[in-house]
Amino acid sequence: MNENPTTAEEQYQLGLCYANGENGISQDWGKAILWFTKAAEQGDSDAQFSLGLCYSNGWGVPKNEKNTEEAIRWFAKAAEQGHSDAKKNLGICCCNLGIYNMNVGNQDKAFDWFKKAAEQGNAMAQYNLGVSYSNGSLGAKKDLEEAVHWFEKAAEQGHSNAQQNLGMYYHQLGLCYVKGDGVPQDPKKAIELFEKAAEQGYAASQYRLGLSYMDGWDIPKNPEKARHWLKKAADNGIEEAKKKLEEFGT
């Protein structure tokens, strides 16, 4: 093993030997970081990723906010070159910094880190960003459309809280379109959102859709669909829906 390599690949391999204690070399995280850095500065994406792991996990360096930011810098460089594991870890680190700053009261920084993590596809950050937009927390301006966007992103990745709450937010956004509250008044868009919420099992939207189809609110009357959604709402505990079904004689 060349102990004074000049090519990025050789420097990276020597870094791995020091990191893992291989090829007759004793484990030494300080020297591993030294050689990873030399290779990373020459543009080696694997070295950049490995350096990110060292800084994010506290291997050979203190585990703190400053070094997490350094990890993010190297993960970002590797991700720019298409390193998929680096992109994933970039999202995790950004999300962790968001959580840290939220817990210590740095609201604006927390929001910024969550946004960066969300853009990297981190589901937890996407959910937290949705919460921020839904209630105007972490310095964000309340924006239900933006909230729904991020809840959808998180739900698509299987985030359970996002999936469970998505119907409610579809419903709330639908009401905004009914009233023109923060968005242009758009009954058609409202109905689309109520349908999405109803399909998610949100009882209030099921009831509202049933009434809309029964009375022709912003959509053509359709007794069959009215019964369908009123029954769904009734099954989910909406007493008014049961009364409306009685009016249908069902």
Three-state DSSP class for residue 24: coil
pLDDT at 216 over 90: no
B/e letters for 12-39, b = 16+ CB within 10 Å, e = fewer, are: bbbbbbbbeeeeebeeebebbbebbbbb
pLDDT at 250 over 60: no
Neighbours of 125 (CB within 10 A): 27
Query: What letter represents residue 113's amino acid?
Result: W
pLDDT tens figures, 20-79: 999 889 999 999 999 999 999 999 999 999 999 999 999 999 999 899 999 999 999 999
Q: What is the DSSP letter of 28?
A: -
Nearest 5°: the CA angle 238, 174, 164 is 60
pTM above 0.85, yes or no: no
Sequence-distant (6+) residues with CB within 8 A of 169 are 130, 134, 144, 147, 148, 151
Mean pLDDT within 138-146: 91
Domains of the chain from N-terminus onward: 159-250 (1.25.40.10)
Q: Are 70 and 55 in contact (CB under 8 A)?
A: yes
Q: What is the pLDDT of residue 116?
A: 92
pLDDT at 145 over 60: yes
Average pLDDT, the chain: 90
pLDDT at 164 over 90: no
Question: 3-class secondary structure for 103-120?
Answer: HCCCHHHHHHHHHHHHHC
Mean pLDDT within 169-197: 88
pLDDT tens figures, 28-39: 999 999 999 999
Q: Are 98 and 110 in contact (CB under 8 A)?
A: yes
For 21-122, where are the alpha helices, taking DSSP H only? 29-41, 45-57, 65-80, 84-103, 107-119
pLDDT at 1 over 90: no
